[in-house]
Amino acid sequence: TETHKLVVLGSRHPGIHAADMGQMDLVKFKARDGLAIPAWVTMPKGGGKKLPMVVIVHGGPYVRGTDWTWDEDSQFLASRGYAVIQPEFRGSTGYGFQLFSAGRKQWGLAMQDDIADAVKWAVAQGIADPKRVCILGGSYGGYATLMGLIKDPDLYRCGVAFAAVTDIPLMFDSGDMVLSDMGDDYKQYGAPHLIGDVNKDTEQFIATSPLKQAARIKRPLLLAHGTDDHRVPFTHYSKLRSALQANKADVEYIEYSGEGHGWLLPENRYDFWTRVEKFLDKNIGPGAKTE
């Protein structure tokens, strides 16, 4: 108060320097039905054209995906030379009621199309190489990753799904209700309104189930889950793993013992992202063989 000067006392990430980070910008594109969709685009330092690109799909899904701030996942990928796009697909919050309400009962449908349209926009802008795009996400983002490989196999060369919902009715199965930390009120009232009714929307849930559509997953996939996940119980992973193995799918399976809905232990975070880096390099990075 005497000098009227600000003094730096400390930093949360002292090893992170803004000048070394990729540029992050908010853009908007039109979905196929005309709805304006916000998206965050992070470019590698120095920019570039027709870059390999990773689509990061946020979890929730009825939450805001990210903000204009430092994002460790997108910056890690940008530091490896990848362009990153993070669409705030319909159902996301913080961008108005129209965008949010348009996501009602659209898992695997219009919500999935928004993610695909984000990729097509990035290709049209000259940002992404259409032959080198991978989709990545956890929780709902993991579900969307799996559905992306099922619904748009020509758009994505690979997928990384962790802590993924693999079947919508499985979230409300009596066997999982004991393990799940999802509130009973949400299961009874919120989920049927936002996601769908397990009794009335049976056909839709079958068509949009990665578990029931597992035979359609033909692209390389990295699939990871924590054994103690109470938000998306481990049975989602184990059932899908069995289905994929039965179809001899090209999948790298990772199981983190004792981990919950995401990785808290530094050694597991390091292991996971090291595997992701190698997986991306093989499929869309310098080590990839494009078709």
230 as an active site residue: the answer is no
> 139, 167, 180, 201: which is the annotated catalytic residue?
139
> 71, 129, 167, 229: which is the annotated catalytic residue?
229
> 58, 225, 236, 261: which is the annotated catalytic residue?
261
Of 187, 186, 253, the C-alpha closest to 226 is 253
92 as an active site residue: the answer is no
CA angle 180, 231, 179 (to 5 degrees): 20
Alpha carbon distance 251, 222 (integer Å): 6
209 as an active site residue: the answer is no
What H or E segment, with its residue span, contains residue 203? helix 202-207
**Strand order across the beta sheet in which 24-30 lies:** 24-30, 36-42, 83-87, 51-57, 128-138, 158-162, 221-226, 251-256
- Residue 290 backbone phi and psi in degrees, to 5: -80, 150
Omega of the bond leading into 153 within 30 degrees of 0 (cis): no
**Six token digits for residue 273:** 């992202």
Please identify every residue annotated as catalytic.
139, 229, 261
